[in-house]
Amino acid sequence: MSAYTISLLSIVGINVILAVSLNIISGFCGQISLGHGAFYGAGAYAAALVAIATRNLPLALIAGMLVGSVLGLIVGFASLRVRSDFLAVTTIGINFLFTGFVRKQGWLGAEMGISSIPASGLGASGNMIMIELFAAATIALSLYVNASWMGFAFRAVAEDEDAAATLAINGISYKLVAFALGTALAGLAGALYAYFTQFINVDAFDFITSVMLMAMVVIGGIGSTVGVAIAAIVLTLLPETFRFINEYRLLVFGGLLVLFISLAPGGLASLFHGTRTRLRR
């Protein structure tokens, strides 16, 4: 397998983790987050610092998840009194605050980023396999959560928090759980990215990244784990397959987003379901 293929598959796996983790927050629990790049970046920076200090892979991955989760809980607490559009604006602000903060901190590399992150010791192929295994585990965890009582509670809160309260479902608790779980997985993706590139810069975690992740969730089908994972794979491979798209990536993503919202609000998942239904008939 060529170095290019290994690199591409690694990025695909990281994006799958990110998109599926955002789907837990926005798709399952209905909390529209447009700042997922901040949690992704927080995990990457935490893992990079721990990796440099300890050269311990498991510890660095755990640090990335913990920092992502703690930041998610903080944002979750701060967002409990806002809903819908206001929550989206709040999370956008978090993303800008994160990137602005990092750019001013010399110990985080400021504009130059952090380089010389120690290798994982697994080699390029080993890193790719590790990333793909975590991506598969993230999908499996998401499917399990969605099929469990927690998934039912998430959907109830997303549909009508007041009605959910009559079923003894504490909306505040489940919102925080969704944020903590989704951002912990985003932190894990950041840690894997740091080990994959061995260099991180704040530009990789900006607002544009958050928008692209939300586009993957919407195009895949909000609430559909498999649909979102497929969308993450397709939208990662598309610019690489058709190189000219790279220059117009935001335009293409934006156009696809508008197209799916207008013609197929349920995303790829609804298209697959409709096709399967027609074939059965």
Q: Which helix H or strand E contains 179, and what residues bound it?
A: helix 171-197
CA torsion, ordered 131, 135, 137, 140, to nearest 10 deg: -170
Give the number of other CB atoms < 10 A from CB of residue 280: 6
Higher confidence at residue 160 or residue 5? 5
> Two tokens at 184?
């912990």
pLDDT in tens, 86-144: 788 888 999 999 999 999 998 898 889 898 899 988 888 999 999 999 999 999 999 99
Contact 188, 182 (CB under 8 A): no
Higher confidence at residue 175 or residue 266? 175
pLDDT in tens, 243-253: 666 666 777 77
- Residue 277 phi, psi dihedral angles, 5° rounding: -65, -45
The β-bridge partners of 114 are 200
> Considering only 140-154, 161-175, 258-272, which range has the smallest mean pLDDT?
258-272
Query: What percentage of the chain exceeds 70 in pLDDT?
Result: 89
| Band of residue 226 on the pLDDT scale cut at 50, 70, 90 | very high
Between CA 157 and CA 171 the distance in angstroms is 6
pLDDT given at position 261: 73
Domain locations along the chain: 3-205
pLDDT in tens, 67-77: 999 999 988 88
Give the number of other CB atoms < 10 A from CB of residue 237: 15
pLDDT given at position 143: 96
* End-to-end alpha carbon distance in the chain: 43
The verdict on pTM exceeding 0.85 is: yes
pLDDT given at position 32: 86
pLDDT given at position 128: 95
pLDDT given at position 196: 93
List the one residue out of 229, 212, 13 whose CA is nearest residue 139.
229
Contact 140, 21 (CB under 8 A): no
pLDDT given at position 281: 58
Chain centroid offset of residue 235 CA: 14
pLDDT given at position 171: 82
Mean pLDDT value across the chain? 87
Contact 188, 61 (CB under 8 A): yes
pLDDT in tens, 167-182: 888 888 899 999 999 9
| Band of residue 2 on the pLDDT scale cut at 50, 70, 90 | confident
pLDDT given at position 257: 76
Whether the pLDDT of residue 43 is over 60: the answer is yes
pLDDT given at position 87: 80
Angle between helices 36-54 and 171-197 (to 10 degrees): 50
Between CA 54 and CA 31 the distance in angstroms is 36
The arithmetic mean of pLDDT across residues 202-222, rounded, is: 91
pLDDT in tens, 8-22: 999 999 999 999 999
Between CA 258 and CA 189 the distance in angstroms is 27
Higher confidence at residue 131 or residue 159? 131
pLDDT given at position 158: 87
